[in-house]
């Protein structure tokens, strides 16, 4: 192992830690799983995995006249004697070479969406970004691939199937808010958010923040200090509700497709998901010119598509209903002034959201020369008051 060449520089091998290693290696092989964040132990002869029990190992050492304290043993476990493994990287490196067939396109073909060709493209890009997230510390999958459609269409199962069987323990189907949930970002391959239907605005926007997170710095259970962990997971989601986005500042993180009919379940019997990932891994490793991130044009198209999934705020509705774009300085208004003009309608509007709505709908923003404040050129559709006005 590389660690041994770095740390085993002493010619003396008679420390208590060397004796622990000599004794335990007769019967066991201990490894630290960097993704599960736990120790794993294997029978030295059969290589079969057994339950890791720190206390039982200490008892064994004491029976062999090695009176080791728990603290000394913990130091041993954290040392270079214990091999560190990454099962996600091991999985991808162990895949058979890609045979050149478009397995991603085939898997996408089991679903009939509102745009099948675009779905195939984004599924491929998502998969390559997922591989990059596992291998590269600073490269994360910043987008959630979402399936929207009728209940019992098989959306969640289709997305969960993307996780290979041998990596099932690295699939999570729930994500809340809190330390344990943040740690999941570094303990999984896929997080499939199945509860978008019941999430409120706060939860969805909090998850959006997690989607952009590269690393976490948290104190792990039983640890004596915080640990910097790099994210390994990619996000998927499904919903039965057509309108669930409520972020007025943009929805670029969500790539949503409507499922038109029940998903063809035959993939579960005839499709080998390893083929899917061998293609994605090959593209990541060998096709360096492949653009897995969204282009500026793809971002624009995606935001336009997402408008139908967005819950319209009152501010957004009122801006469209009561104002039109203008190029006349006499129509200059700040968002706060618009809030004042519309307060007669009985809704408590937020100036920041009014500003976001004006920007979203391309109202010209300028700095007023005399007043020295920024605002928008927004021409009222009403004469004296919005009360009783109908936009016909």
- Residue ending a domain, among 282, 309, 336, is 309
Domain-embedded: residue 388 = no
pLDDT in tens, 60-104: 999 999 999 999 999 999 999 999 999 999 999 999 999 999 999
Query: Does one domain contain both 281 and 295?
Result: yes
Banded pLDDT at 176 (limits 50, 70, 90): confident
| Cα atoms found within 13 Å of the Cα of residue 321, Cβ hemisphere only | 16
Most confident of 186-195, 267-276, 319-328, 354-363: 267-276
Q: Are 44 and 29 in contact (CB under 8 A)?
A: yes
Mean predicted confidence (pLDDT) in 236-247: 81
- The Cα–Cα gap between 106 and 97 comes to 18
Assign 252 a pLDDT band (cuts: 50, 70, 90): confident
Question: Is there a single domain that holds both residue 169 and residue 146?
Answer: yes
Residue 169 · residue 214 · CB < 8 Å: no
Residues 200 and 244 in one domain: yes
- Angle formed at CA 101 by CA 169 and CA 114, multiple of 5 degrees: 75
Q: How far apart are CA 266 and CA 126, in angstroms?
A: 23
Q: Are residues 159 and 17 in the same domain?
A: no
Do residues 76 and 224 share a domain? Answer: no
Which CATH number belongs to the domain containing residue 343 in this structure? 1.10.10
The answer to whether residue 143 sits within a structural domain is yes
Across the range 252-277, mean pLDDT stands at 97
| Structural domain contains residue 227 | yes
Same domain, 227 and 281: yes
The verdict on 256 and 338 lying in the same domain is no
169 and 60 inside one domain: no
CATH of the domain at 118: 3.40.50
Cα gap 119→332, rounded to integer Å: 42
387 falls in which pLDDT band (50, 70, 90)?
confident
Is residue 392, in this structure, part of any structural domain at all? no
Q: Are 165 and 299 in a shared domain?
A: yes
Q: In this predicted model, which residue has the larger pLDDT, 384 or 271?
A: 271
Query: 29 in a domain, yes or no?
Result: yes
Contact 164, 91 (CB under 8 A): yes
* 385 part of a folded domain: no
CB 188, CB 172: distance < 8 Å: yes
pLDDT higher than threshold 90 for residue 392 = no
Give me 146's structure tokens.
Answer: 């979402």
Q: What is the average pLDDT across 314-337?
A: 94
Whether 359 contacts 374, CB under 8 Å: no
234 shares a domain with 117: yes
Of the three residues 273, 292, 309, the one that is the final residue of a domain is 309
One domain for residues 23 and 78: yes
pLDDT over 90 at 196, yes or no: no
User: Domain tally for the chain?
Assistant: 3
Q: Which of 292, 309, 326 is the last residue of a domain?
A: 309
pTM: 0.83
Query: ∠ at Cα 315 (312, 316), nearest 5°?
Result: 45
* pLDDT above 50: residue 1: no
Confidence of residue 2 (pLDDT cuts 50, 70, 90): very low
3-state secondary structure the chain: CHHHHHHCCCCCCCCHHHHHHHHHCCCEEEEEECCCCEEEEEECCCCCEECCCHHHHHHHHHHCCCCCCHHHHHHHHCCCCCEEECHHHHHHHHCCCCCCCCHHHHHHCCCCECCHHHHHHHHHHHHHHHHHHHHCCCCCCCCEEEEEECCCCCHHHHHHCCCCHHHHHHEECCCCCCHHHHHHHHCCCEEEECCHHHCCHHHHHHHHHHHCCCEEEEECCCCCCEEEEECCCEEEEEECCCCCECCCCCCCCEEEEEECCCCCCCHHHHCCHHHHHHHHHHHHHHCCCCCCCCCHHHHHHHHHHHHHHECCCHHHHHHHHHEEECCCHHHEECHHHHHHHHHHHCCCCCHHHHHHHHHHCCCCEEECCCCCCEEEEEEECCCCCCCCCCCC
Is residue 249 pLDDT above 90, yes or no?
Answer: no
- Structural domain of residue 52, as residue ranges? 2-85
Claim to verify: residue 49 and residue 143 sit in the same structural domain: no
pLDDT at 158: 98
Q: What is the pLDDT of residues 344-355, one digit of tens each?
A: 998 999 999 999
Structure tokens at 37: 């964040």
């Amino acid at each position: 192992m590389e660690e041994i060449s770095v740390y085993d520089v002493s010619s003396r091998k008679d420390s208590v830690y060397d004796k622990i290693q000599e004794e335990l290696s007769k019967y066991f092989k201990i490894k630290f799983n960097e993704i599960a964040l736990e120790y794993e132990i294997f029978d030295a002869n059969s290589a079969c995995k057994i339950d890791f029990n720190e206390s039982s190992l200490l008892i064994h050492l004491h029976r062999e006249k090695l009176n080791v304290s728990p603290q000394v043993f913990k130091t041993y476990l954290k040392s270079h004697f214990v091999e560190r493994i990454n099962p996600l990287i091991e999985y991808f490196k162990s895949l058979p070479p890609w045979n050149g067939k478009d397995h991603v396109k085939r898997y996408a073909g089991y679903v009939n969406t509102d745009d099948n060709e675009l779905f195939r493209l984004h599924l491929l890009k998502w998969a390559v970004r997922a591989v990059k997230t596992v291998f590269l510390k600073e490269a994360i999958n910043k987008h959630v691939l979402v399936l929207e459609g009728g209940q019992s269409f098989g959306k969640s199962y289709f997305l969960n199937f993307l996780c290979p069987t041998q990596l099932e323990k690295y699939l999570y189907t729930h994500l809340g808010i809190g330390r344990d949930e943040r740690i999941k970002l570094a303990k999984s391959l896929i997080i499939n958010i199945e509860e978008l239907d019941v999430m409120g605005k706060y939860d969805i926007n909090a998850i959006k923040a997690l989607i952009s997170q590269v690393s976490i710095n948290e104190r792990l259970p039983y640890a004596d200090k915080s640990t910097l962990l790099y994210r390994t997971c990619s996000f998927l989601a499904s919903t039965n509700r057509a309108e669930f986005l409520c972020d007025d500042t943009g929805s670029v993180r969500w790539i949503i497709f409507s499922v038109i009919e029940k998903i063809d379940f035959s993939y579960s019997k005839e499709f080998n998901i390893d083929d899917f990932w061998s293609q994605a891994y090959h593209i990541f490793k060998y096709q360096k010119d492949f653009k897995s991130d969204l282009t500026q044009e793809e971002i624009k198209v995606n935001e336009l598509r997402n408008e139908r999934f967005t819950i319209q705020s009152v501010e957004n509705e009122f801006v469209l209903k009561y104002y039109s774009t203008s190029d006349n300085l006499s129509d200059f208004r700040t968002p706060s002034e618009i809030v004042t003009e519309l307060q007669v309608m009985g809704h408590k509007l937020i100036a920041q959201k009014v500003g976001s709505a004006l920007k979203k709908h391309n109202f010209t923003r300028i700095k007023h020369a005399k007043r020295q404040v920024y605002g928008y050129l927004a021409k009222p559709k009403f004469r004296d008051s919005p009360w009783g006005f109908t936009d016909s």
